[in-house]
Amino acid sequence: MTGEKCEVSSAREAADALRRVVSRAREDATEGEPSAEAIDELARLAGVLGRTVDMVAGEDGGAVRQRAAELATAIAAHRDQRTR
């Protein structure tokens, strides 16, 4: 498999994993359970995505990584508000 095809495959796998997190969060919400775990997972995914984009782009500490870290922090803050 070429590098480009491998990257596309990895991106599809990541998108599938994100869909599973969303599906699990919806199931938890239907059962009346808090979705703090799913929100935590989304915060982790935001950070991973930012680091991955920087890695692929050959940047270290680039703007995407910084914004992704800000998003992860905002998601965690949202979780904290929901679970109080």
* Maximum pairwise Cα distance, the chain: 48
pLDDT at 7: 61
pLDDT at 58: 84
pTM, rounded to two decimals:
0.70
Contacts of 44 (CB under 8 A, 6+ apart): 72
Convert the pLDDT of each residue in 25-36 to its tens digit: 888 777 766 678
Convert the pLDDT of each residue in 43-84 to its tens digit: 888 888 888 888 888 888 788 889 999 999 999 998 888 766
Q: Give 36 or 2, the one with higher predicted confidence.
A: 36
